[in-house]
Amino acid sequence: MSEVTVVGLGPMGSKMAATFLDAGHEVAVWNRTASKAEPLLSRGARRAASAADGELLVVSQISYQAMYDSLGDERLDGKVVVNLSSDTPERLREAARRVAGRGGTLITGGVMVPPPGIGRPGAYTFYSGPKDVLDRHAATLAALGEITYVGADQGLAMMYYQAQLLMFWSSLTSLMHAQALLGTSGVGPLEFLPYARTLFAQLGGDGPMGYAKILSEEIAAGRHPGGENSLHMQAVGMGHVVEALTDAGLETTVPAALKALFDRADAEGRGQEGIGTVIESIRKP
């Protein structure tokens, strides 16, 4: 088995280090607060002399600035830095240049499960950077979950990651708005759950409500047919949703912003097109 150094021992990094140990790898650990390493040291990890101690460095910190602070002025000649921290795609590209300037290679990643899901079935991570370098360490990184390679551009992994999180957060926030609205009439969250699950499943399916596929195909083709299901009708309906939430005394920031986006696309003269036309307003803020 190979050796891997885990830099950053918050909930995610600690779980990664433990998962590497469980997979039989030799693991070195480093954290700015050294005491956080103790539980892993007791399991057989060694304390890294520095954040750059090792040939394969797996970084899990709050931001890319934290990586710079941890590495200090250390050289990275011949080292592979796999940074699984969150930041902006452009900062990841800049990080790739900075790591290369010190003699190393940066692989970027976005982990698509919370800490308890690391290493479990269904876990996966978006990776980007030089594929030949990623391939050399794939057997080690596979302990964390499925490797999903998205391209050589080091900013791409974070774009995929943030695109997924945007869908995750907005969908679950909408679910909470729906549950809060129904709750004002005495309907419990678990009573509504079967309908919410059906809708989520339908949106990802192939039927008439399979809008993930429908919109993707329309957007790829650059056309947004409306017909009997126009954006204008959706904008009016969204207005009614906001009114219902307001009447119920609930918070409306996110639904009102969605209504404003629909209204803008309608005002721009695309009201008779389908809902997919909203992407044109998103592209041109």
Specify whether 148 is located in the same domain as 7.
Answer: yes
Specify whether 22 is located in the same domain as 143.
Answer: yes
Specify whether 45 is located in the same domain as 110.
Answer: yes
Beta-carbon count within 10 A of 5 CB: 27
Q: What is the pLDDT of residue 228?
A: 80
Say if pTM beats, i.e. exceeds, 0.85.
yes
Whole-angstrom distance, CA of residue 1 vs CA of residue 213: 42
Whole-angstrom distance, CA of residue 101 vs CA of residue 83: 16
Specify whether 167 is located in the same domain as 264.
Answer: yes
Mark which of 134, 153, 172 sits at the end of a domain: 153
Specify whether 149 is located in the same domain as 14.
Answer: yes
Specify whether 140 is located in the same domain as 178.
Answer: no
Mark which of 153, 178, 205 sits at the end of a domain: 153
Q: What is the pLDDT of residue 2?
A: 86
Q: What is the pLDDT of residue 1?
A: 65
Mark which of 153, 176, 203 sits at the end of a domain: 153
Specify whether 123 is located in the same domain as 34.
Answer: yes
Specify whether 169 is located in the same domain as 149.
Answer: no
Q: What is the pLDDT of residue 227?
A: 82
CATH number (domain holding residue 242):
1.10.1040.10
Domain hosting residue 44, numbered range = 3-153
Specify whether 130 is located in the same domain as 208.
Answer: no
In tens, the pLDDT along 63-91 reads: 999 999 999 999 999 999 999 999 999 99
The alpha-helical segments, DSSP class H, found in the chain are 11-22, 38-41, 64-71, 89-101, 131-136, 138-141, 156-183, 189-203, 211-221, 231-247, 253-265, 278-283
The angle at the Cα of 147, spanning 61 to 27, to the nearest 5 degrees, equals 50
Whole-angstrom distance, CA of residue 27 vs CA of residue 139: 14
Specify whether 165 is located in the same domain as 97.
Answer: no
HSE toward the beta carbon, residue 137, CA cutoff 13 A: 25
Specify whether 115 is located in the same domain as 205.
Answer: no
Can you list the residues of the chain whose pLDDT is less than 50? none
Q: CA torsion 245→249→254→260, rounded to 10°?
A: 60
Whole-angstrom distance, CA of residue 7 vs CA of residue 31: 6
SS3 (DSSP) at 52: coil
Q: At residue 268, what is the residue type?
A: E
Specify whether 52 is located in the same domain as 180.
Answer: no
Contacts of 218 (CB under 8 A, 6+ apart): 224, 225, 274, 276
Residue located via tokens 């391939």:
135
Phi, psi of 82 (to 5 degrees): -105, 100
